[in-house]
Amino acid sequence: AAPSSRFAKVRHAVPMLSLDNCFSDDDVGDFVARVMRFLNLPEPPAFTAEPKIDGLSCSLRYEHGVLVTAATRGDGAEGEDVTANVRTIGEVPHKLAGKDWPDICEVRGEIYLGHADFAAINAEQERLGEKLFANPRNAAAGSLRQLDASITARRPLRFFAYAWGEMSRMPAASQWDMVQAFARYGFRVNPRMALCQSLAEMLAVYRSIEAERASLGYDIDGVVYKVNELGLQGRLGFVSRAPRWATAHKFPAEKATTELLGIEIQVGRTGAHTP
Ligand code: IVH
């Protein structure tokens, strides 16, 4: 969504991109084949596979190891300044740990709420007679975009680091090693991220993450595959607003069974029957 006017705007030093989607194994096969063709490789390169967290992406800018700005994605070019709110999130370090971080270090990832915390927030909303949130993602968005940061502070928002924006120096040469660097800087990174050497391995990781989906304790809506080597990512580049080196393999929509208990027909003044 375009940024609202209530928060100051922040222009992203490096645009925040979105991802193309795959909906079947064949789509993923086509993605891998496209990457190989573009790079003129006889074998697939290594890919990371990681859960696609269903939250809000956020860009955290650190200068000399200190958090200076936190911004929402907005339209990808310009987001909202949510620094005061993000400073209340326990999982977002105010200072980077270790010492191998670059002086300008923009860490990107997902702000989200766990299932149990979402249920507790809705129970509290109900007690207060306030509007209930439809899902954890909406509750996370509503909690972050509070003009009063003390309300955000009472919501147990969480953060996984998985990407980056401006870096004055690259601490690693692959997606995998970048995420390991973020862990050293004090961020939580997803323990289910895997390194795959073939299409079969990518699809196997997708199946195993899908099998765990209900027990993770937070919402995910798919698996993201990324070409591991940053050198290859650079050669692949972008098409419009999505990188050629990554794609999201979406899960089918969650299905549930509804028991229809009855249909009431109202007969109107003109004789019209309305169920
Ligand atoms: S990578 C240049 N990795 O999905 C690629 N995105 O549909 C940047 N998301 O806006 C994104 N989990 O909010 C990436 N492990 C993950 C992700 C992830 C969730 C979200 C992110 C992004 C959206 C794109």
Of all protein residues, whose CA lies closest to atom 10 belonging to ligand 1?
A: 18
The answer, as to whether pTM is greater than 0.85, is yes
Select which of 52, 95, 99, 250 is catalytic. 52
**Terminal C-alpha separation, the chain:** 36
Predicted local confidence at residue 212, as pLDDT = 95
Which atom of ligand 1 sits closest to the CA of residue 246?
5
Cα 47 to averaged position of ligand 1 atoms, centre (Å):
15
CA-based nearest residue to 141, from 133, 129, 132, 149: 133
**Do residues 3 and 78 touch, judged by C-beta distance below 8 A?**
yes
What is the percent of the chain with per-residue pLDDT over 70, rounded to a whole number?
Answer: 98
CA-based nearest residue to 78, from 106, 51, 54, 59: 59
* DSSP code for 60: E
Q: Is residue 52 flagged as an active site residue?
A: yes
Task: Say whether pLDDT at 3 is over 70.
Answer: no
Least confident among 24-33, 170-179, 263-272:
263-272
Cα 52 to averaged position of ligand 1 atoms, centre (Å):
6
75: left (phi over 0), alpha (psi -120 to 50) or beta: alpha
Predicted local confidence at residue 2, as pLDDT = 52
What is the separation of C-alpha 235 from the centre of its chain, rounded to a whole number of angstroms? 24
Task: Say whether pLDDT at 130 is over 80.
Answer: yes
Cα 165 to averaged position of ligand 1 atoms, centre (Å):
13
Question: Using a 6 Å cutoff on CB, does residue 19 contact ligand 1?
Answer: yes
Task: Say whether pLDDT at 1 is over 60.
Answer: no
